[in-house]
Each structure stands twice: as C-alpha cells, then as structure tokens.
Amino acid sequence: MARHFDVIVAGGGLVGLSIACGLTREGLRVAVCDEGEHGFCASRGNFGLIWVQGKGADSPAYANLTAHSARLWPAFAERLRGASGIDPALAQPGGFSLYLDTGELAAKAALMNRIEARAPDFRHETLDAEGVRRHFPDVGPEVVGAIHTPHDGHVNPLKTLRALLIAFQAQGGVYLPRHHVANVETGAGVFTLSTAGGSLECGRFVLAAGLGNARLAPLVGLRAPVAPVRGQIMITERLPPFLPYPTSLIRQTDEGTVQIGESQEPEAGFDDGTRPDVLAGMARRAIRLFPRLRPARVVRAWGALRIMTPDALPLYEESRSHPGAFVASCHSGVTLAAAHHGIIAPWIAGKGGPGLAEDFHAERFTFQTSAD
Ligand SMILES: Cc1cc2nc3c(=O)[nH]c(=O)nc-3n(C[C@H](O)[C@H](O)[C@H](O)COP(=O)(O)OP(=O)(O)OC[C@H]3O[C@@H](n4cnc5c(N)ncnc54)[C@H](O)[C@@H]3O)c2cc1C
C-alpha cells in the first residue's frame, strides 16, 4: 500500500523545505522527497544574501515580492530558531554593492532609479567614496562609490537549511531522503509518485526540485524551463570582524570567515566545479575593495548551480490540466525563503494569494517565443 499524504513536496532544498514548513503550519500532513546528497543542490552552495538590491528592474511584482520577503525574514528567522533550536544567524543591516569604476556605478544607479520609480516598496541611495568610507573604514582607495539598500542582509545558509529541516520535522513533517521522484501518475484527484523509496500518494504535489523541475513538470502538465548558471565561491580563514555590512561580492559570516563570490557562468552547463582563473579574478577584486584581505588564507572554494528561468524571474504555477500540482522555481531561494513559507505555502494550501499565478506562471515564456 502506498503511503498517503495531503501534500508531497519533491525537493528538500531551501525552496522545498520553506514551502513544506509553511504547509505543516496550515495543519496539513506533508512529506518532502529528496533524492539525497548526490544531486545538484544550490541550497548547499550559495552565498547567503537576503538581497533586494537590483531585483525586478522589469517586474515590479518581483521587486515587491522580494522586498516583502525581506521584511518577513526577521519573524521567519525567529520562528525557525524557536522550532529548531538553530539560529540561522540573520543580520539585516542593509547591503552595499561597491564599485571601482564610475561608469559601472552610474549604470547601477540608473537601474536602481528605474526600479524605485515602479516599485514603491523599494528604497536605495547612491554613495560617493567618502560615503562608503563612513560605513566601511577599511575600504580600499580605489573604491569610487556604492549603492546602498536598507532592506538587505544575510544569513548562514547551511544553518538555515538545517533549521528548516528540523522545524519541518518538529511540526510533524515527514522527510524522506534517498527518495528520487522518478514518475508521477494521476487519477481521481490523487497523485501517485514512483520514488526510489517506494510508491507514495498525495492530494497535492509540489515541484520544488530545483533543476530537476525541468524533467518533472511535464509529468503534471506544467513547464519549468530552468537552466543551470554556475557560481563559484571561496571562503577565507576566520578573521577579526571588519565588514559590518554584506556586499554583493564579499561578506563576513557569523563565524568570522569571509566569503567571496559573485561569478555567473551559464556556459559551464551542469559542471559544478571550480576554475582557478575565475577564483583568482574574484580574489583580485576583493583585495582591491579591501586590501586587508591580501594576506588572508583561502580555506575552501566550490562551485554550485543556480536555477535560472529565461527571464530570471521566479516560477509559481498550478497546473491547469492536473489541478493540485504546483511548481516553484527561483534563483534567489535564500531571499525568498520567508515568502515561500509565508505566502506561497498558504497559496498552495488553497488560502488564496496575491495574484502570484498571474505574475509568475510559465505562459510568459510561450508569449516570448511566439513574439520572436
Ligand atoms: C553560487 C550561488 C550563490 C547563490 N547566492 C544566493 C544568495 O546570496 N541569495 C539568494 O537568495 N540565493 C542565492 N542563490 C540561489 C539559491 O541558492 C537557490 O535559489 C536555492 O538554493 C534554490 O533552492 P531549491 O530548493 O529550488 O533548489 P536546490 O537547492 O537545488 O534543491 C533541489 C533539491 O531537489 C532535489 N531533487 C532534484 N530532482 C529530484 C527528484 N526528481 N526527486 C527528488 N528530489 C529531487 C535535489 O537533489 C535537491 O536536493 C545562490 C545560488 C548559487 C548556486
């Protein structure tokens, strides 16, 4: 006999667990199937920013969702801490993008003005070199300015993932590792999943399998045109605190290490390795921003794959042909975790939502294709 759940979530990364945790709070019996340690998992290799800055230049809905999620984060972090006993190490002092080139700074300022004009939830300021130095006394002499947004922050992403898993289980959720979802059949309002751990049934099925969504979505009449974009990150030995704010390239973690990384490499495909030339370029830039990093020892470096839609906006949709099947994909699953927990989960549970299905469904890609 297949085990039956109200909802099964495929994928135990940040997106799947944030949604699953929110669904258990709705009183539903929820299971998360994850394929295990050998699949791609952006949630185990990301930079940990809660980053509103620059999001949604052409989509006020995305800018507002992102800003809203950032506002939900403090209560979300508190709830995770309470339910799991693990502190996700949230700090939201505001975030900075630092610039070594006046042209690049001006271009980013123009982008930020465009977002702010269309998304009322959004605020930013452009700082000159002197303004940057007031916030970062250790900044290098080559820095010409910065963009500052007050909503931004960072967490420890691995502690967040662990806290989500423990909170989910503490709330009655069932976590099933080594349960790769291979196939889905539907009938009489029930989804029957063939998994590596046996057959499972559910009334609602959520695809939150990261890059795996591309294969699963057509099984329930959905489309998830997601592709990998590699990012590489390196981390230094622990250093005395010197970075009071996260920046888009560098942040000092709650443990004192300094994390460096912002590469975007779609050309790497499904290769999640590292390249010395990319790492060296990031290290050189980091040292120009903060010369005191020059003697710091790098203790680890890794690559991980972002989950990117063609327009870089999230994807949230319920299947028309298979009602009760939902897809959720995004490239900022740390930033949006609080929204996935507090907005997307209730929407999946049938408690409405702020028009997400209209703003973030996959039909937008069909329209783009036919216009080309
Ligand atoms: C280098 C890098 C830096 C980043 N920095 C940030 C940042 O600073 N801030 C931010 O907000 N976001 C950041 N991100 C993005 C963020 O990490 C992702 O948006 C988020 O982790 C996506 O979570 P997910 O659960 O959708 O996917 P994943 O974390 O990839 O998890 C998907 C899970 O589903 C499993 N799975 C796949 N197929 C199946 C199947 N058929 N059956 C069962 N399980 C399956 C996989 O094994 C995996 O465990 C970064 C990403 C990268 C790569």
The neighbour count for residue 188, using CB atoms within 10 Å, is 4
Mutating to test ligand 1, I would choose from 46, 193, 215, 305 the residue with most ligand atoms within 8 A of its C-beta, which is 46
With a CB cutoff of 8 Å and minimum separation 6, the contacts of 144 are 99, 100, 101, 102, 105, 128, 129
Q: How many whole angstroms from 257 Cα to the centroid of ligand 1? A: 22
Which pLDDT score, from 0 to 100, does residue 371 have?
A: 40
Q: Which class would CATH give 3-67+158-225+310-371?
A: alpha beta
Each residue's pLDDT expressed in tens, for the chain with a length of 372 residues: 669 999 999 999 999 999 999 999 999 999 999 998 788 999 999 999 999 999 988 888 898 899 999 999 999 999 999 999 999 999 999 999 999 999 999 999 999 998 888 877 778 999 999 999 999 999 999 999 999 999 899 999 999 999 999 999 999 999 999 999 999 999 888 999 999 999 999 999 999 999 999 999 999 999 999 999 999 999 999 999 999 999 999 999 999 999 999 899 999 999 999 999 999 999 999 999 999 999 999 999 999 999 999 999 999 999 999 999 999 999 999 999 999 999 999 999 998 765 666 789 988 887 444 444
Residue 352 tokens read as: 């409405």
The ranges assigned to domains in the chain are 3-67+158-225+310-371, 95-150, 227-308
Residues facing residue 186 across a β-bridge: 191
Cα gap 270→293, rounded to integer Å: 31
Mutating to test ligand 1, I would choose from 206, 306, 313 the residue with most ligand atoms within 8 A of its C-beta, which is 306
Q: Residues near ligand 1 with C-beta < 6 Å?
A: 10-16, 33-35, 39-43, 45-49, 51, 180-181, 208-210, 212, 216, 231, 233, 304-307, 330-335
Cα gap 162→84, rounded to integer Å: 8
Q: How many residues does the chain have?
A: 372
Regarding the domain delimited by 227-308, which CATH topology (the fold level of the hierarchy) does it fall under?
D-Amino Acid Oxidase; Chain A, domain 2 (3.30.9)
How far from chain centre, in Å, is Cα 254?
A: 19
Using a 10 angstrom Cβ sphere, with 0-12 exposed, 13-18 middle and 19 or more buried, the burial of residue 140 is middle
**What are the phi and psi torsion angles at 97 (to 5°)?**
-110, 125
Q: Are 145 and 104 in contact (CB under 8 A)?
A: no
Residue 211 tokens read as: 């890059």
How far from chain centre, in Å, is Cα 291?
A: 30
Which pLDDT score, from 0 to 100, does residue 358 have?
A: 76
Q: How many whole angstroms from 307 Cα to the centroid of ligand 1? A: 7
